[in-house]
């Protein structure tokens, strides 16, 4: 039997690994569930390892499956980049993509650069804003696709909010402040937070309320630059995703005067049920790439 890792098998495997459901994966790749199962049986025979375990809620990757996924994502990206490069074309057109400021600063350079290498004639226009504003843009059909945050309720023992959404990455919310300041010296605690309906704002206020810690919102804005500027000045503390914390600010999650914060999930939302081929391709690129960044 051939020991070749076929691209078609790896692509189906990567989709199943993402959605953790054979039926949902079958819909996405345009195959029957039976055909998809036969593909995965063949792939398991090729690698001579079990790749999935069935559970009451779908399928989960085994340890060999997790290891194969890392290789599969790399192989698929290189395969698609090679075809686009040698073909000299790839997809073309324009899409409008919504992304929160903190994710944009950390993830967008790599996401856009790699996508442009595969599809040099495609144009991605970026709109930045907090998740509630991006959802409003989707409702108005002002953006085609948006990367947004969802509450991550895994530690609460229940299903995550927005259980119908595929969480492609999780980010820990953290307290941040100027390195030379101690939060215990402030009463009430001054906060610089995003809009009142955003997850960082809600998480900060709820955590402090539960802990009985007095606070005041010194600055509330959708501008990430404004929030971090106030934190740098030593006038307030803030909450943001750990990945996006600037190197000159301190992460204060070990501070006993500050209560623990939850994590959030990152998902993608489309403007329409049947997105354009270009929009779907960019979404797939994000799903494959984001977990590795």
Number of domains in the chain: 3
Are 145 and 275 in contact by the 8 Å Cβ rule? The answer is yes
Listed residues 84, 115, 135: the one ending a domain: 84
What is the reported pLDDT for 89? 64
CATH at residue 279:
3.40.190.10
> What does the pLDDT look like over 254-281, one tens digit per residue?
889 999 999 999 999 999 888 888 898 8
Same domain (yes/no): 157, 211: no
pLDDT (tens digit, 0 to 9) for every residue of the chain, 293 residues total? Answer: 558 899 999 999 998 988 888 888 888 888 899 999 999 999 999 999 999 998 877 899 999 999 999 899 888 877 876 776 676 667 788 999 999 999 998 999 999 998 988 888 899 999 999 999 999 999 999 999 999 999 986 543 333 344 456 899 999 999 999 998 899 999 999 999 999 999 999 999 999 999 999 999 999 888 888 999 999 999 999 999 999 999 999 999 888 999 999 999 999 999 988 888 889 889 989 998 998 88
Q: Give the C-alpha separation, 273 to 44, whole Å.
A: 33
Same domain (yes/no): 255, 278: no
Residue 147 is part of which domain span?
Answer: 90-166+266-292
What is the reported pLDDT for 275? 85
Structure-token pair, residue 227: 């929030």
> What does the pLDDT look like over 38-55, one tens digit per residue?
999 999 999 999 999 988
Same domain (yes/no): 183, 129: no
Structure-token pair, residue 15: 């989709």
Placement of tokens 């979404």 in the chain = 283
Q: Is the pTM for the entire model greater than 0.85?
A: no
Q: Give the C-alpha separation, 144 to 97, whole Å.
A: 6
Q: Is residue 1 part of a domain?
A: no
Same domain (yes/no): 99, 156: yes
């Amino acid at each position: 039997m051939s020991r070749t890792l076929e691209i078609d098998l790896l692509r189906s495997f990567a989709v199943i690994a993402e959605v953790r459901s054979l039926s949902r994966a079958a819909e996405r790749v345009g195959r029957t569930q039976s055909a998809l199962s036969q593909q995965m049986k063949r792939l398991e025979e090729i690698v001579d390892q079990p790749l999935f375990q069935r559970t009451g809620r779908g399928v989960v990757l085994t340890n060999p499956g997790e290891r194969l996924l890392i290789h599969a994502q790399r192989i698929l990206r290189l395969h698609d980049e090679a075809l686009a490069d040698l073909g000299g074309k790839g997809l073309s057109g324009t899409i409008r993509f919504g992304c929160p400021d903190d994710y944009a600063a950390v993830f967008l350079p790599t996401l856009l650069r790699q996508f442009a290498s595969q599809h040099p004639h495609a144009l991605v226009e970026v709109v930045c804003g907090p998740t509630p504003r991006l959802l409003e843009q989707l409702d108005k059909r002002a953006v085609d696709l948006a990367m947004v945050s969802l509450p991550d309720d895994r530690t609460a023992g229940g299903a995550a909010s927005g259980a119908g959404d595929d969480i492609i990455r999780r980010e820990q919310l953290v307290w941040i402040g100027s390195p030379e300041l101690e939060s215990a010296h402030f009463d009430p605690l001054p906060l610089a937070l995003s809009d009142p309906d955003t997850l960082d704002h809600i998480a900060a206020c709820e955590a402090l309320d539960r802990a009985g810690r007095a606070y005041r919102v010194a600055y509330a804005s959708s501008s990430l630059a404004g929030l971090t500027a106030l934190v740098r000045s030593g006038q307030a503390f803030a909450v943001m995703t750990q990945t996006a914390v600037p190197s000159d600010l301190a992460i204060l999650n070990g501070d006993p005067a500050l209560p623990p914060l939850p994590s959030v999930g990152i998902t993608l939302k489309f403007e329409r049920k049947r997105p354009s081929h270009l929009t779907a391709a960019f979404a797939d690129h994000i799903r494959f790439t984001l977990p590795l960044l």
